[in-house]
Amino acid sequence: MDMRLKGRVAVVTGASKGIGLAVTHALLAEGAKVVAASRTAGPELSALARPDLVHEGVDLMDPEAPARTVARAVQEFGGLDILVNNAGGRPPGVDLPRGSFFDASDDEWRAMFEFNLFSAVRAARAAIPHMLSRGGGSIVNVSSANARQPSQMNVDYGAAKAAMSNLTKALSEEFGPQGIRVNTVSPGPVLTPWWTEPGGAADRIAGLTGADRAAVLDKIVPESMGLTTGRLAGPEEIADVVVLLASPRSASTTGAEFTVDSGFVKAV
């Protein structure tokens, strides 16, 4: 299926690995031009190098970084059609998972909201005027199934992602009549470096349970989270939904949430 994205200009945050890398790869494959924002490019993003890909080295904890990234897209490619607010998860210097509400300080709560909510707010604020000047666009916010499935683990993260889902709906209502569609993709557990890198969530859970990393990823996490499919999703499975929402083929879809969570959320 042609996603009708050839020549469209996209900004993807958190693009050097995991879901963001998969989204960047998928958009490029559809002929889009991409500004990939992350602190460092990393080997996998660097391997995608081509004229239609620009890396913007930014720390999205910096309040000025989202606007600089959008400005880079306009400078390099003449405008902006798509914004994928993917950056999120563990802020720099914060360790996850946590087991209790009491495990996060005020500073850690602030850092979590800076990274997972305010970076998206600032990116949207910078992007929307450029989209309006081109007659519309698409914003896809990557939230989390934890926005809808509260848990004692990582309470601050779930709260920030719930706010992201609310932001999506509000933006869709205000700017939908002007041609800007805003939607949410809410992944469950995904096989990204957040889980798999040394010292990541799999290693931390292994330390708590006495199991090895493979058992954590293949058995303990799917069973403890009640994943209907019995496995964590792959980043490409999330990226496919993001690209569909970015595409004009989703022209009547706005203010919607798409949960891609291996069956984690059970509520209707």
Residue-level pLDDT at 215: 95
Q: Which residue is catalytic, options 157, 175, 195, 264?
A: 157
Helices (H), 62-209: 65-77, 106-113, 119-133, 155-175, 193-196, 201-209
Residue 264's nearest CA partner among 234, 227, 214 is 227
Q: Report the Cα 35 to chain-centroid distance in Å.
A: 15
pTM of the model: 0.95
Residue-level pLDDT at 97: 74
Percent of the chain clearing pLDDT 90 (strictly above): 85
Identity at 138, one-letter amino acid code: S
Number of CB atoms found within 10 A of residue 136's CB: 16
Number of CB atoms found within 10 A of residue 175's CB: 20
Q: Judging by DSSP bridges, how do beta strands 53-57 and 82-85 pair with one another?
A: unpaired
The average confidence (pLDDT) of the chain is 95
Domains belonging to the chain, first-starting first, are: 9-190+234-260 (3.40.50.720), 191-232 (no CATH)
Please say if 157 is a catalytic residue: yes
180-206 confidence digits (pLDDT tens): 999 999 999 999 998 898 888 899 889
| pLDDT mean over 45-70 | 97
| pLDDT mean over 201-217 | 90
Residue 21's nearest CA partner among 54, 51, 57, 48 is 48
> Is 90 exceeded by the pLDDT of residue 4?
yes
Q: How far is CA 120 from CA 126, 139, 211, 244, in A?
A: 10, 10, 36, 20
